[in-house]
């Protein structure tokens, strides 16, 4: 087992070094990475490569079944948009799950867990409302004049 761990660590270091040597916008095709580093791009190799990219302080986009493309000026906004959409989907899913679970089991929960559920629902409700408000704001192209508001957003 120690040998496998040492090999995995060595492969990760190779990939990290490889990623650090790449310029912004570099396309890291799995086949090319395997040829350049000798690290097989199976599921474990792809995970190591992704971890190396993240730990090198780089952002990336994914080309499914092909590889990764390191961020550059032209892709920065698209990558940020994708990450924002991921957060939005996760918040929506969490809010839906909490609502369903709360409706099904809230009354049976111990008092402490009821309070936790209420807080979680409030937080996800506030996040959902903020996301919706931001969507309306940006969809109207009012980005140039973002003003602060004292409006209170009701929580569910």
pLDDT tens-digit readout, 89-113? 999 999 999 999 999 999 999 999 9
Distance, CA of 76 to CA of 85 (rounded, Å): 14
Range of the domain at 11: 2-71
Distance, CA of 48 to CA of 10 (rounded, Å): 11
What is the rounded (10 degree) CA torsion for 65, 66, 72, 76?
Answer: -20
Among candidate residues 55, 71, 87, the one where a domain is terminated: 71
- Residue 29 φ/ψ, nearest 5 degrees: -65, 140
Would residue 156 count as lying in a domain?
Answer: no
Number of domains forming the structure of the chain = 2
Distance, CA of 82 to CA of 125 (rounded, Å): 22
Instruction: Provide the whole-model pTM.
Output: 0.69
Would residue 63 count as lying in a domain?
Answer: yes
Confidence of residue 131 (pLDDT cuts 50, 70, 90): confident
Distance, CA of 135 to CA of 154 (rounded, Å): 18
């Amino acid at each position: 087992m120690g040998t496998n761990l040492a090999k995995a660590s060595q492969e990760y270091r190779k990939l990290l070094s490889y990623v650090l040597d790449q310029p912004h916008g570099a396309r890291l095709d799995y086949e090319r990475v395997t040829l350049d580093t000798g690290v097989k791009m199976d599921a474990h190799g792809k995970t190591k490569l992704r971890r190396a990219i993240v730990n090198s302080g780089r952002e990336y986009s994914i080309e499914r079944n092909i590889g990764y493309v390191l961020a550059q000026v032209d892709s920065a906004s698209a990558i940020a948009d994708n990450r924002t959409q991921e957060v939005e989907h996760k918040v929506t899913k969490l809010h839906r799950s909490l609502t369903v679970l709360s409706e099904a089991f809230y009354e049976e929960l111990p008092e402490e867990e009821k309070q936790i559920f209420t807080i979680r629902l409030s937080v996800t409700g506030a996040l959902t409302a903020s996301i919706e408000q931001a969507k309306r704001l940006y969809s109207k192209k009012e980005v140039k004049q973002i003003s602060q508001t004292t409006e209170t957003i009701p929580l569910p």
